[in-house]
Amino acid sequence: MVDISSDFVGIKSPNPFWLASAPPTDKEYNVVRAFRAGWGGVVWKTLGEDPPIVNVNGPRYGALHGADRRLLGFNNVELITDRPLDVNLREIKQVKRDWPDRAVVVSLMVPCEEAAWQKILARVEETGADGIELNFGCPHGMSERGMGSAVGQVPEYVEMVARWCKQNTRMPVLVKLTPNITDVRHPARAAKAGGADGVSLINTINSIIGVNLDAMTPEPATDGRGTHGGYCGPAVRPIALNMVAEIARDPETQGLPISGIGGIETWRHGVEFMALGAGTVQVCTAAMAYGFRIVEDMVEGLKTWMTAKGYSRLDEVVGAAVPNVTDWQFLNLNYVVKARIDQDLCIKCGRCHIACEDTSHQAITATVNGERRYEVIDEECVGCNLCVSVCPVESCITLERMTEGVDPRTGQEIDPDYANWTTHPNNPNRAAAE
Amino acid sequence: MGEERKRPDIAAGRLSAEAYAANFADLHPPLNRHQALVEAERCYFCHDAPCMTACPTSIDIPMFIRQIASGNPDGSAATILKQNIMGGMCARVCPTETLCEEVCVRNTAEDLPVRIGLLQRYATDHLFAGGEQIFSRAEPSGRSVAVVGGGPAGLACAHALAVAGHAVTVFDSNPKLGGLNEYGIAAYKTIEGFAQREVDYILGVGGITVECGKELGLNISLAELRDGFDAVFLGLGMGGTNDLGIEGEELEGVHDAVDYIAELRQAEDLASLPVGRRVVVIGGGMTAIDIAVQSKRLGAEDVTIVYRRGQEAMKASRYEQEVAQTSGVKIKHWAAPLRVLGDCGAVAGIEFAYTESDDEGHLKPRGDRFALEADVVFKAIGQTFLPDCLNGSGAMPALEAGRIAVDESRRSSLPDVWAGGDCVVGGQDLTVAAVEDGKIAARAIDAYLRAKAVAA
């Protein structure tokens, strides 16, 4: 029997799937529905100082659709909660009382003054919430006022506010990081230096989802004008995975608890974040697209997968892939693969051929003996994975390793030993042979 | 022309081995992984999904499809089987075109529903291929239940009760369990012995004793069972078939369709089954379609279904009618049989009266007639429940409209006897509906036994 209960910076939840601080966690009504559906925890939508901010009355969201109008990317210009602080605090207290086994973390954003933080921390503590998350990520609206990502982009501020919070509350402190930065390791290190118990990432990415070519306005527009919003959804997942991994493998932040966020739709995505070091994962867009019931697939899928793989607890999964994330310079240059096309699975669309022919290495035939047939020309194939990526049929094209003989492309004998760029003869800065 | 044929022309082995194999291969080949993923992506994960509401067993269809899409087919199968232990068979035999797939919102969007039945089959096949038993039994309750009839209703009930910790004994008159899944469904819908594989999976949970060759009213009685067990579930099915009630019905070559289908399902070698050259089927339901299509696929030259009302009144779904028609079966409407024509004691043909409907919808003869030549005539005009088996020394559950009367929990007039499937009032002649009956009854029986335990 697998145990998927989570203990993350001392915050316990029956499963690692939390709802991220966002519209779905703005009210007791929504949060209770989420808990009924099975979510392990929530990060309550960001509280600020009274008087509450206001939201636009025009559209807040915009979507990037894939085929069949599947939601791939999502963009928003909604700000932090627009409800009075008292109302939120009262509801948080009630929810935590009614759902003691679920994680209730409160997201916060107040101006960069210690007094402001002291004041709100005391009030949040009274609710019995399990922890706080500092919103240093929101990239629109609030950042113009010197909050959100404006703080997250300056590591010194991150450290300073994290320290204030640690000094002024007994609650665990998570710092939510913005991806709108050159190197996410710097704010993560700053959060750690400030004493934060963990980081959560990523917040949304600055974006314009599209342009209305009749009105000549960005989408979505309010009265003829639009602004950049925060981008999220499945499309941002690769960016988030990388940022999580960067923090997980950075010697300075190694072991710093991470709550992974960014485009998680299914159990598999959650596990991917966990494998790269996330102790819990947070979801927003998928819930907004499909409803809270998606957590059932996440919980059941995680259990089924762990059972099949022989894992019994989450800590065996968390970080399991981190040792295998490395720098380019350490990739094995003696590892040679060639594409292989399964002719039984091939539906003969020719996309592998044209991709390779036009844009890569001219390593896939279009015809063989006058018939439409796609075969890999080993003499040209560099094993780049482009054909695999564009093939509509999963597993039709695979990359197979050459373990012996001569690579027909280079004419060189396959070398079974590991060798990387740091010692490569073409590298002007190569390390001297020992 | 004018060639004299043997009369009646009934013969086995009309086809080559390859033709039999092709004709009785899977009617709807399963989806492979790629097809299943593409199809699963089409599901919108609707809120309060119409498909789920349309399913008599309320399978959480959007969830199981999402689980396929997320790469968890065994979890998907678990979602299915928790609601419907015969989800594997239902995936094959449910008239999805009149249930879940009929109401798929994709019909509104592009007139093409998500192929729910095939996705359900993909998930359940995946689980059965791995053989993992996803159910486990609760602590033994010390209570025992007799289930009479090992068809869909009985097995669904037995399984749920076994899971709840009760000791179940299933009695069945046939050598094998499965009921109509084993003896009635058309062969090309459940190939490769799936019915028995499903029975094995159901029994695999443990706690179910099987006693085959036991027929109620013959070598077991209701009174005995009520004495020997804490509760009884009757999933008796329908033992009788309706007669045409016309002249010539006794002639050689006039058969009950259900008998022939049972024989076909149990045949080791399809080539050993005699089939007429010209076959006439009387009826308009699934049995009529099944016997007609199977006769055609066994090599009959001309197969005609004759139904007394119009196309829209046929109980067989439009889709099933099309299956028959594309198999080469001719369907004639608005004709009722008058008499079977004989030649030396065997069927030679059958005479019909054209019918029409009066203003109140009553059927009446139009006044003209026609005859069809036939070597074999199949009767497929409905089955009946035979209540005689309930007679005995003890009390008998009340009947209504010739079938066992039950309340919402499928309890009969006897406090410790429940019933479900085709033998109860309102039985729908559907595997999935029978499973739901068994499930509901099991829940009620479990509650009854637990209350009894507390009282004791």
| Annotated catalytic residue, options A112, A138, A381, A387 | A138
Same domain membership, residue B395 and residue B332: no
* Closest chain A CA to residue B63: A297
Whether B455 shows a pLDDT value over 80: the answer reads: no
**Which residues of chain A does B66 touch, with a Cβ-Cβ cutoff of 8 Å?**
266, 294, 297
Same domain membership, residue A320 and residue A237: yes
Nearest CA to CA, how far is A270 from chain B (Å)? 11
* B72, A305 Cβ separation under 8 angstroms: yes
The CATH number of the domain holding residue A410 is 3.30.70.20
The last residue of a domain, from among B382, B400, B427: B382
Q: HSE (CB half, 13 Å, CA atoms) of A102?
A: 27
Residue whose C-alpha is closest to residue B432's, from B190, B28, B162, B156: B156
First to last CA, chain A: 50
- Contact state of B79 with A300 under an 8 Å Cβ cutoff: yes
> Sign of the CA dihedral B73, B79, B85, B89?
negative
- Tell me the residues of B at the A interface, defined by beta carbons under 8 Å apart: 33-34, 37, 41-42, 45, 47, 62-63, 66-67, 69-72, 74-75, 78-79
- The residue assigned the tokens 């078939």 is B241
Rounded CA separation A217/A58 (Å)? 14
Same domain membership, residue A405 and residue A259: no
The last residue of a domain, from among A284, A300, A324: A324
* A431, part of any domain: no
User: How many folded domains does chain A comprise?
Assistant: 2
Give me the residue from A70, A268, A294 closest to B71, CB to CB: A268
The proportion of chain B whose per-residue pLDDT surpasses 70, expressed as a percent, equals: 98
* B4, part of any domain: no
Same domain membership, residue B376 and residue B390: no
Same domain membership, residue A261 and residue A343: no
* A181, A188 Cβ separation under 8 angstroms: no
* B16, part of any domain: no
| CB contact A349 to B (< 8 Å) | no
Q: How many angstroms separate the Cα of B354 from the Cα of each of A295, B316, B330? A: 60, 21, 16
* A394, A370 Cβ separation under 8 angstroms: no
Determine if the peptide bond prior to A11 is cis (ω within 30°).
no
- Contact state of A305 with B72 under an 8 Å Cβ cutoff: yes
Element (H, E) at B180: helix B180-183
pTM of the predicted protein model: 0.92
Rounded CA separation B247/B374 (Å)? 15
Nearest CA to CA, how far is A392 from chain B (Å)? 9
**How many other CB atoms are there within 10 angstroms of residue A80's CB atom?**
24
Rounded CA separation B316/B287 (Å)? 8
**Which residues of chain B does A394 touch, with a Cβ-Cβ cutoff of 8 Å?**
33-34, 37
Coil/strand/helix, residue A67: helix
Q: Where are the beta strands (DSSP E) in A48-119?
A: 61-65, 71-76, 103-108
**Which residues of chain A does B71 touch, with a Cβ-Cβ cutoff of 8 Å?**
266, 268, 301
Bridging pattern class, strands A17-19 and A41-47: parallel
- Contact state of A301 with B45 under an 8 Å Cβ cutoff: no
Rounded CA separation B195/A214 (Å)? 61
Q: At CA A129, angle to CA A128 and CA A133, rounded to 5?
A: 150
**Which residues of chain B does A345 touch, with a Cβ-Cβ cutoff of 8 Å?**
34
Rounded CA separation B109/B104 (Å)? 9
Determine if the peptide bond prior to A155 is cis (ω within 30°).
no
From the number of C-beta atoms within 10 Å of its C-beta (0-12, 13-18, 19+), residue B288 rates as: buried
Describe the crossing of helices A294-309 and A267-275 by its angle, rounded to 10 degrees.
50
Bridging pattern class, strands A6-8 and B417-419: unpaired
DSSP one-letter code for A69 = G
Beta bridge partners of B349: B341, B373
- Contact state of B70 with A297 under an 8 Å Cβ cutoff: yes
Per-residue pLDDT averaged across B158-169, rounded? 98
* Closest chain A CA to residue B74: A304
Q: At CA A27, angle to CA A21 and CA A28, rounded to 5?
A: 115
* B316, B285 Cβ separation under 8 angstroms: yes
- The residue assigned the tokens 């390390």 is A431
Residue A190 tokens read as 């700053």
- Contact state of B67 with A301 under an 8 Å Cβ cutoff: yes
The CATH number of the domain holding residue A23 is 3.20.20.70
* Closest chain B CA to residue A347: B34
Nearest CA to CA, how far is A286 from chain B (Å)? 12
How confident is the model over B248-289, as pLDDT tens digits?
999 999 999 999 999 999 999 999 999 999 999 999 999 999
Residue A159: phi and psi, rounded to 5, are: -65, -45
Rounded CA separation A68/A60 (Å)? 23
Mutate to test the interface with B, among A295, A297, A298 (most CBs of B within 10 A): A297
The last residue of a domain, from among A304, A324, A344: A324
* B12, part of any domain: no
Residue A386's Cα: distance from chain center in Å?
24
* A430, part of any domain: no
Residue B368 tokens read as 């003209």
Query: What local confidence, expressed as pLDDT, does residue A431 receive?
Result: 75
Same domain membership, residue A125 and residue A13: yes
DSSP one-letter code for A19 = E
**Which residues of chain A does B72 touch, with a Cβ-Cβ cutoff of 8 Å?**
267, 297, 300-301, 304-305
Same domain membership, residue B438 and residue B417: yes
Give me the residue from B37, B42, B63 closest to A297, CB to CB: B63
- Contact state of A300 with B42 under an 8 Å Cβ cutoff: no
Q: Give DSSP secondary structure letters for A254-309.
A: TT--EEEESS--SHHHHHHHHHTTEEEEEE-HHHHHH-TTHHHHHHHHHHHHHHHH
Whether B59 shows a pLDDT value over 70: the answer reads: yes
The CATH number of the domain holding residue B162 is 3.50.50.60
**How many other CB atoms are there within 10 angstroms of residue A1's CB atom?**
5
Q: At CA B178, angle to CA B174 and CA B181, rounded to 5?
A: 115
Same domain membership, residue A319 and residue A342: no
* A1, part of any domain: no
Same domain membership, residue B402 and residue B319: no
First to last CA, chain B: 82
Could you tell me how many CB contacts below 8 A there are between chain A and chain B?
Answer: 48
Residue A39: phi and psi, rounded to 5, are: -65, 140
The last residue of a domain, from among A324, A355, A385: A324
Residue B451: phi and psi, rounded to 5, are: -65, -40
A138 labelled catalytic: yes
Query: What local confidence, expressed as pLDDT, does residue B109 receive?
Result: 87
- Contact state of B67 with A290 under an 8 Å Cβ cutoff: no
Give me the residue from A68, A294, A304 closest to B75, CB to CB: A304
* B14, part of any domain: no
Bridging pattern class, strands B275-276 and B144-148: unpaired
**Which residues of chain B does A268 touch, with a Cβ-Cβ cutoff of 8 Å?**
70-71
From the number of C-beta atoms within 10 Å of its C-beta (0-12, 13-18, 19+), residue B21 rates as: exposed
User: What residues contact B129, with CB distance under 8 A and at least 6 apart?
Assistant: none
Residue A381 tokens read as 């194939």
Rounded CA separation A180/A161 (Å)? 19
Give me the residue from B34, B47, B67 closest to A297, CB to CB: B67
**Which residues of chain B does A296 touch, with a Cβ-Cβ cutoff of 8 Å?**
63
**How many other CB atoms are there within 10 angstroms of residue B325's CB atom?**
15
One-letter amino acid identity for B73? P
**Which residues of chain A does B70 touch, with a Cβ-Cβ cutoff of 8 Å?**
265-268, 297, 301
Same domain membership, residue A288 and residue A335: no
Same domain membership, residue B259 and residue B335: yes
* A21, part of any domain: yes
Same domain membership, residue A249 and residue A172: yes
* B315, part of any domain: yes
Beta bridge partners of A232: A74
Q: How many angstroms separate the Cα of A47 from the Cα of each of A86, A124, A133, B161? A: 10, 10, 10, 51
The proportion of chain B whose per-residue pLDDT surpasses 90, expressed as a percent, equals: 90
The last residue of a domain, from among B82, B102, B130: B130
Same domain membership, residue A57 and residue A151: yes
| CB contact A268 to B (< 8 Å) | yes
Same domain membership, residue B390 and residue B377: no
Same domain membership, residue B362 and residue B248: yes
Bridging pattern class, strands A131-135 and A406-407: unpaired
* Closest chain B CA to residue A297: B67
Mutate to test the interface with B, among A304, A305, A342, A396 (most CBs of B within 10 A): A304
ipTM, 2 decimals?
0.90
Residue A347's Cα: distance from chain center in Å?
34
* Closest chain A CA to residue B73: A301
Same domain membership, residue B260 and residue B352: yes
One-letter amino acid identity for A180? N
- Contact state of B75 with A345 under an 8 Å Cβ cutoff: no
Same domain membership, residue A202 and residue A122: yes
Work out the pLDDT band at B1, boundaries 50, 70, 90. very low
Q: How many angstroms separate the Cα of B44 from the Cα of each of A290, B65, B73? A: 8, 10, 18
Beta bridge partners of A338: A400
Per-residue pLDDT averaged across B20-43, rounded? 94
User: Residue B344's domain spans which residues?
Assistant: 242-382
The CATH number of the domain holding residue B121 is 1.10.1060.10
Same domain membership, residue B248 and residue B330: yes
Residue B426 tokens read as 């309102």
Same domain membership, residue A343 and residue A218: no
Instruction: Characterise A65 by phi-psi region: left (phi > 0), alpha (psi -120 to 50), beta (else).
Output: beta
Residue A164: phi and psi, rounded to 5, are: -50, -45
- Contact state of B70 with A267 under an 8 Å Cβ cutoff: yes
- Contact state of B33 with A394 under an 8 Å Cβ cutoff: yes
* B19, part of any domain: no
Mutate to test the interface with A, among B68, B72, B114, B136 (most CBs of A within 10 A): B72
Rounded CA separation B354/B366 (Å)? 6
The last residue of a domain, from among B102, B130, B158: B130
- Contact state of A291 with B45 under an 8 Å Cβ cutoff: yes
* A263, A283 Cβ separation under 8 angstroms: no
* Closest chain B CA to residue A301: B72
| CB contact A434 to B (< 8 Å) | no
- Contact state of B42 with A293 under an 8 Å Cβ cutoff: no
| CB contact A304 to B (< 8 Å) | yes
Per-residue pLDDT averaged across B34-60, rounded? 95
> Mean pLDDT per segment of 10 residues, for chain A of length 434 residues?
96 98 97 98 98 95 94 96 98 98 98 96 98 94 91 96 97 98 98 98 97 96 96 98 98 98 98 98 98 98 96 98 98 98 96 97 97 97 98 95 96 96 94 62
Same domain membership, residue B220 and residue B264: no
- The residue assigned the tokens 């919102």 is B105
Rounded CA separation B128/B91 (Å)? 13
User: How many folded domains does chain B comprise?
Assistant: 3
* A297, B66 Cβ separation under 8 angstroms: yes
How confident is the model over B316-347, as pLDDT tens digits?
989 999 999 999 999 999 999 999 999 989 99
Same domain membership, residue A358 and residue A393: yes
Same domain membership, residue B338 and residue B248: yes
Residue A148: phi and psi, rounded to 5, are: 60, -130
Coil/strand/helix, residue B241: strand
Residue whose C-alpha is closest to residue B277's, from B293, B259, B296: B296
Same domain membership, residue A402 and residue A304: no
Element (H, E) at A371: strand A371-372
Residue whose C-alpha is closest to residue B430's, from B115, B185, B157: B185
* A113, part of any domain: yes
Same domain membership, residue B375 and residue B297: yes
Give me the residue from A265, A301, A345 closest to B72, CB to CB: A301
* B7, part of any domain: no
User: What residues contact B163, with CB distance under 8 A and at least 6 apart?
Assistant: B135, B136, B137, B138, B205
Residue whose C-alpha is closest to residue B180's, from B153, B214, B215, B216: B153
| CB contact A300 to B (< 8 Å) | yes
- Contact state of B70 with A266 under an 8 Å Cβ cutoff: yes
* B2, part of any domain: no
* A101, part of any domain: yes
User: Residue A207's domain spans which residues?
Assistant: 6-324
* A270, A263 Cβ separation under 8 angstroms: no
